Amino acid sequence: MVNNCLNCEGELVEVLSWRGLFHREPQFLCQECERQLEFIEGERCSGCSRSMLDLPSNLIKEDVCLDCFRWERDSGWRGILEYNHSFYHYNDFLKDYLARYKYRGDYALAHAFSQTIKTYLAEVEYDLIIPIPLSDERLYERGFNQSTVLLEEAEVRPSTILTRLHSEKQSKKTRSERLLQEQVFRLAESDVRGKTILLFDDIYTTGTTLRQAAKLLREAGADAVSSLTLARG
């Protein structure tokens, strides 16, 4: 049992509720730190989960953001990724928290998201859930794949049938460079024909990485590919 907040190490004070009388969920963050995790609420882009509330009108096209609209206008990418669901805004608190988790190797920090991931996955249908893989270089540097561990801590068994060929960051590329980029993933010998697949990653930024993986899976016969991420950057 965790007695101290995983983030600030302050003492955890149990908050009693009617629900808690019948079912107690483990606490990993104190109330103050929990409050700093901002769930994406209200109207969001139906393609990538980006919040539409503060988005300028010129960056909205019907029920999607301009970025998703442009992806879907491209015949090479249309319908490749059905949608992405993100839980949180990628605010300063979450940015620092995930940096500690990924770059300092503090596995325990993954516990904070276990129940949120578990609850969502219980309500969606999929045949396989695949964490976005790291390159060998990144895996060697960190010692673990942050997305795989997040799923395992949520008591989910991931399918590791994708491998990554290189690690160049997509955020450093222009949009046109990302669209023209060659495939960065390889699919192991696995029959994905007719399957519904859910990709999992920690952060959705440009959407290129997820679409690259989705494209490979669709070309291999997957019926549908969507994605789940902790945060929308």
Asked if residue 31 and residue 44 are part of one domain, the reply reads no
Residues 26, 121: one domain? no
DSSP structural state of residue 143: S
Whether 86 and 138 map to the same domain: the answer is yes
- Chain centroid to CA 191: how far? 24
Same domain, 14 and 67: no
For residues 173, 174, 175, 176, the Cα torsion angle rounded to the nearest 10 degrees is -110
| 75 and 143 part of one domain | yes
Find the largest Cα–Cα distance for the chain.
55
Q: Do 28 and 133 fall into the same domain?
A: no
State both tokens at 130: 């695949």
Residues 6+ apart with CB under 8 A from 124: 198
Say if residue 21 is in the same domain as residue 92.
no
Same-domain pairing of 12 and 117: no
Per-residue pLDDT tens digits for 193-205:
999 999 999 999 9
137 plus 202 within the same structural domain: yes
pLDDT at residue 105, as a whole number = 82
- How many helices (DSSP H) and strands (DSSP E) are in the chain? 9, 8
3-state secondary structure 94-126: HHHHHHHHHHCCCHHHHHHHHHHHHHHHCCCCC
The DSSP H or E segment spanning 89 is strand 84-89
In the chain, how many domains are there?
Answer: 2
Same domain, residue pair 83 and 98: yes
Model confidence pLDDT, tens digit, residues 172-219: 556 566 555 678 999 998 999 999 999 999 999 999 999 999 999 999
The range of the structural domain enclosing residue 209 comes to 39-232
Mean pLDDT of 46-63: 94
Q: Does this model's pTM top 0.85?
A: yes
86 and 20 in one domain?
Answer: no
Q: Is the same domain home to 31 and 47?
A: no
